[in-house]
Structure 1
Amino acid sequence: MGSLGSRFQSSPRGPEEAVERQCAGNRHSCECRKRKRSSHCECDSEPEEEDSQLDTPRRKKLKSTSKYIYQTLFLNGENSDIQIRALGQEWNLHKIYLCQSGYFSSMFSGSWKESNMMVIELEIPDQNIDMEALQVVFGSLYRDDVLIKPSRVVNVLAAACMLQLDGLIQQCGETMKENVNVKTVCSYYNAATMYGLDSVMKKCLEWLLNNLMTHQNVDLMKELGAEIMEQLIQSSDLFVMQVEMDVYTALKKWMFLQLNPSWDGPIKQLLLDADAWLCKRRSEAGEEEPFLNTDDGMPFVPVFRHIRLQYIINDLASARLLERDNILPPEWLSAVYKQQWFAMLRTEHDNDNGPQEANKEEFELNSMRCGRKLTKDGDYCWRWTGFNYGFDLLVTYTNRFIIFKRNTLSQPCGGAVSLQPRRHLAYRLRLASFDNSGKVVCSRSTGYQLVTLEKDQEYVVMNLDSRLLSFPLYVCCNFLYTSPSSERRGDTPEPENSARSVS
């Protein structure tokens, strides 16, 4: 290698380059900076060279500190001061990093025998924890970012909970909420229940309420247990397609799959096979006993109790199907028939024009649940079947408006129509569209509302922004046509009203 001076001389300099130098002999600033075109300093015979021209060897970029620590200390186990053994695997780790875990921090700081041990055998009581999950969790102590696969998140969550790693637990929860779909929702819900992740439980329930009826799936029905199904069926937030009878039908299919888990076939065939199975069971056993009163049927009683039967027996064809299936105990139906009969008499003879005061508790427990799927943009008009105490409600979707109309005389109606001047209605209308995984793409809700409608009056329920609409669009409604019990004057008439003169 040549001297520094010779290396300077080997690099020619451009004529336009400005030079600044401090003269070595007299410490005064060189005046050549004023002469822009001079390439040499008068007090120095050697040309100046910029730092960029120096032949400095490039340094190889070092790994980030986190990557270096992860590779050297965790993967290579250098300078390890403790060994953790679990599930037939050994990890050479470091106490200072393990103390990030509440589990190990307590172990090392207390009077536990493990605080001075060099080798610790971990007992793993949770079957969800496997060797791969422990590898991820131990490794998270040595790095900034951890990638958690959605398919492995339950196992990692289990290990993180055991070792009391709050940050990792939170990350697992966020991963789960972002990846709820038909394949993960049940396992995520069960894990969230086991490990106390309330926000994940809420997200899973929300997904199921939206998708159980709108996107029926055989595998999902097989996986849903009675406890979670009971929560879904009793909720007024259940997105019901068509009417309450469809909730009963869905439960019948679900019950059949629970008792026949090996059944395999398309969703369209499921109801036919469920009905055939029930029919065969009745004929072979010769049982007149309702299915829910049998040993096989008893586990399903809590779920079927939450069907809102008052909105099934108001339709003749549906009532006949209930009788034919013989799933429900007859006393259930008798109580509802009596309840509906008194409700009709109140409407006709006691001037019950419907709910007039806000009663959300009654609404949540007893409102009619119904829905409709709009496959594409266009004009739609429909009504839901069943006797609704003379309230013939027409629902219209047109020009991105949703309109309720109380029909009395303007449109044909197949049943009795109330001619009372005014009728009151409690309602909630929700709209939603979903992506392929069942996540809500857009949604709107009116919230709980009260409205009074005169004969043939129209009422604009919702005005939609076309930019937010996505089809198919699901419309879900809840209705109360009669007054809640707190507003009723009682089912037993006063003595003076028991006889009325007829003119």
Structure 2
Amino acid sequence: MGSLGSRLSLGRAATADCECQRRKRARPDDCDCSESEADGPSSPRRKKLKSTSKYIYQTLFLAGENSDITICALGQEWHLHKIYLCQSGYFSSMFSGSWKESNMNYIELEIPDQNIDSEALQVAFGSLYRDDVLIQPSRVVTILAAACMLQLDSLIQQCGETMKETISSKTVCGFYTAAGTYGLDSVKQKCLEWLLNNLMTHQSVELLKELSIGLMEKLVSSPDLFVMQVEMDVYTALKKWMFLQLVPSWNGSLKQLLTDADAWFSKHRKETCSYSSFLDTEQGQKFAIVFSHIRLQYIINDLTSAKIIERDMIIASDWLAAVYKQQWFAMLRTEQDNDLGPREINKDEFEMHSMRCGRKLAKDGDYCWRWTGFSFGFDLLVTYTNRFIIFKRNTLSQPCNGSVSLLPRRNIAYRLRLASFDSNGKVICSRSAGYQILSLEKDQEQIVLNLDSRLLMFPLYICCNFLYTSPTKPEIDEQPPNSEN
């Protein structure tokens, strides 16, 4: 048998165990205290409480307890509280002024914006009772519309951030329109940047269908359009886009789109027996403003492309005549006046008149290419190797189409941009060489960009702008010698 002291110690231990068990049984389910905290007689007991925000949202907003005002809109009622509604600029003005609604406890709202539905109002009203709101990209425009009507600045800002983060080929046009409607300039600019980067690099039938005439004009006229291949591809993209605007019911693959577009325009020419260009017809006139921004001088400099332009009869003949004349004089200046090329860069002139071209590099490796078309005797070879971009003026080492200038030195103005994109078309990394003038001797090559391997991701898209000749004013149209005028 143990001593009395031992029995007393055991008794106290048993009593403590029973007390601990009673505490465990009495402990609420949401108690967050540990065993050591429970055993310590002087330890504070922590209790996990339901968050105040969650309680307010569930009790006051969802359950409508102690509501002092009812809002009715779109056939639905919300039992709300003026003190929370006053966070809204819309209701704050209503309740603080001499409006009749300031003393009413039942208000029926007129909803003039068709973008707003009852679900969007539910989110907007609910945002007044909670700290955060989860906004689905598919619902962001309707919620933005409701937030703007109710003047909920924080919700408007959150909608804007959601839109910026979820721009894709499926959302960009809707977001661009909504941003313009509701005054989100930063979102509108982000959408425009996305379109400039992806219109030519990641084409899709759905995107081409959604692009309005005004938006397409803005894209084609922009100096920041990321062009792939050559200017002829811009024309081809516009031809496919115009066909989809005229025949929105067309449903097929991107691969089949050009064939069907060509067939449609050919059929139209035969049925109308018209010798006028399509852009001069009643159907085509509204598209002329977009096609006017194509840099035709870099399309007619290639025989195959020039023949397609003549065959399609989409472009007005007087447009083409003016461009042929312009290019003829440019060629004569290069050949007979020994034009060495640009000596300085006027940014505005460069952006308006430079040749636009691009290339996609699917994976890392060694690449060498030239862009097709007559280039006024400047045969430019572009090489990508070991993360360097190299320009070379080729004169003798390789054959090329067209005559090659043998002047000791030629100048070229250029702007070089590179970018990689994720699956949604968002820029992952980018580099730019800015606006540059390069002077090269015969067969001389020059590194124009050294890429940081840490930022380099494939596929890599390269976009270049070039000016081969000195910019000049348009040639003067003189009247024939015997003209009375």
**In 2, distance between residues paired with 1:188 and 1:343?**
43
Report the alpha carbon displacement of residue 53 of structure 1 after superposing the two structures with TM.
4.8
After superposition, the C-alpha distances for 1:270-313 in whole angstroms (9 at most, x for unaligned) are: 11111111111111221111101111101111110110101001
| Selected match of 1:164 from 147, 151, 164 | 151
Counterparts in 2 of 1:104 and 1:400: CA distance versus 1, 3 Å? same
Name the SS for the 1:331 alignment partner: helix
Which of 1 and 2 has greater Rg?
A: 1
**Structure 1 residue 446 corresponds to structure 2 residue 447:** no
Name the SS for the 1:448 alignment partner: strand
Q: Which amino acid aligns with 2:189?
A: K
Report the alpha carbon displacement of residue 467 of structure 1 after superposing the two structures with TM.
2.4
**Structure 1 residue 127 corresponds to structure 2 residue 114:** yes
- Specify the alignment match of 1:242 in structure 2: 229
| Selected match of 1:291 from 278, 287, 307 | 278
Instruction: Indicate if the aligned counterparts of 1:430 and 1:476 stay in contact, CA closer than 8 A.
Output: yes
**Structure 1 residue 303 corresponds to structure 2 residue 304:** no
Of 101-110 and 55-64, more deviation after overlay is shown by 55-64
Q: Which amino acid aligns with 1:180?
A: I
| Selected match of 2:267 from 269, 280, 291 | 280
- Specify the alignment match of 1:377 in structure 2: 364
Instruction: Indicate if the aligned counterparts of 1:236 and 1:367 stay in contact, CA closer than 8 A.
Output: no
Name the SS for the 1:251 alignment partner: helix
Of 150-159 and 206-215, more deviation after overlay is shown by 206-215
Report the alpha carbon displacement of residue 466 of structure 1 after superposing the two structures with TM.
2.1
Counterparts in 2 of 1:11 and 1:480: CA distance versus 1, 3 Å? farther
- Specify the alignment match of 2:13 in structure 1: 12
Alignment of 1:81-480 (within 5 A): 81-480=68-467
Of 396-405 and 476-485, more deviation after overlay is shown by 476-485
Structure that is richer in helix per residue: 2
Q: Which amino acid aligns with 1:89?
A: Q
Report the alpha carbon displacement of residue 58 of structure 1 after superposing the two structures with TM.
7.1
Report the alpha carbon displacement of residue 218 of structure 1 after superposing the two structures with TM.
0.6
- Specify the alignment match of 2:31 in structure 1: none
Name the SS for the 2:331 alignment partner: helix
Counterparts in 2 of 1:427 and 1:56: CA distance versus 1, 3 Å? closer
- Specify the alignment match of 1:500 in structure 2: none
Counterparts in 2 of 1:292 and 1:8: CA distance versus 1, 3 Å? farther
Alignment of 1:59-70 (within 5 A): 61-70=48-57
Instruction: Indicate if the aligned counterparts of 1:353 and 1:483 stay in contact, CA closer than 8 A.
Output: yes
Q: Give the % identical residues.
A: 75
Report the alpha carbon displacement of residue 473 of structure 1 after superposing the two structures with TM.
1.1
Query: TM-score normalised to the size of structure 1?
Result: 0.86
- Specify the alignment match of 2:66 in structure 1: 79
Counterparts in 2 of 1:54 and 1:327: CA distance versus 1, 3 Å? same
**In 1, distance between residues paired with 2:382 and 2:128?**
58
Instruction: Indicate if the aligned counterparts of 1:342 and 1:491 stay in contact, CA closer than 8 A.
Output: no
Counterparts in 2 of 1:468 and 1:459: CA distance versus 1, 3 Å? same
Q: Which amino acid aligns with 2:392?
A: K
Q: Which amino acid aligns with 2:223?
A: S
Name the SS for the 2:311 alignment partner: helix
**In 1, distance between residues paired with 2:312 and 2:460?**
33
**In 1, distance between residues paired with 2:300 and 2:275?**
21
Report the alpha carbon displacement of residue 350 of structure 1 after superposing the two structures with TM.
2.7
**In 2, distance between residues paired with 1:342 and 1:192?**
45
Report the alpha carbon displacement of residue 55 of structure 1 after superposing the two structures with TM.
11
Name the SS for the 1:404 alignment partner: strand
Of 54-63 and 363-372, more deviation after overlay is shown by 54-63
**In 2, distance between residues paired with 1:59 and 1:233?**
64
Q: State the aligned residue count.
A: 450
**In 2, distance between residues paired with 1:461 and 1:57?**
69
- Specify the alignment match of 1:37 in structure 2: none
**In 2, distance between residues paired with 1:194 and 1:167?**
18
Name the SS for the 1:446 alignment partner: strand
After superposition, the C-alpha distances for 1:76-111 in whole angstroms (9 at most, x for unaligned) are: 111111111100011111111111111111111111
**In 1, distance between residues paired with 2:53 and 2:151?**
22
Q: Which amino acid aligns with 2:276?
A: E
After superposition, the C-alpha distances for 1:222-270 in whole angstroms (9 at most, x for unaligned) are: 1111111111111121111110001000110111111111111111111
Counterparts in 2 of 1:76 and 1:248: CA distance versus 1, 3 Å? same
Name the SS for the 1:63 alignment partner: coil
Instruction: Indicate if the aligned counterparts of 2:38 and 2:45 stay in contact, CA closer than 8 A.
Output: no
**In 2, distance between residues paired with 1:56 and 1:349?**
97
Which 5+ residue runs of structure 1 have no aligned equivalent? 1-6, 14-49, 494-503
Instruction: Indicate if the aligned counterparts of 2:61 and 2:126 stay in contact, CA closer than 8 A.
Output: yes
RMSD: 2.3
**In 2, distance between residues paired with 1:53 and 1:387?**
89
**In 2, distance between residues paired with 1:292 and 1:108?**
56
Report the alpha carbon displacement of residue 59 of structure 1 after superposing the two structures with TM.
7.8
**In 2, distance between residues paired with 1:453 and 1:281?**
49
- Specify the alignment match of 1:501 in structure 2: none
**In 1, distance between residues paired with 2:12 and 2:186?**
68
Instruction: Indicate if the aligned counterparts of 2:354 and 2:465 stay in contact, CA closer than 8 A.
Output: yes
Instruction: Indicate if the aligned counterparts of 1:243 and 1:371 stay in contact, CA closer than 8 A.
Output: yes
**In 2, distance between residues paired with 1:186 and 1:373?**
25
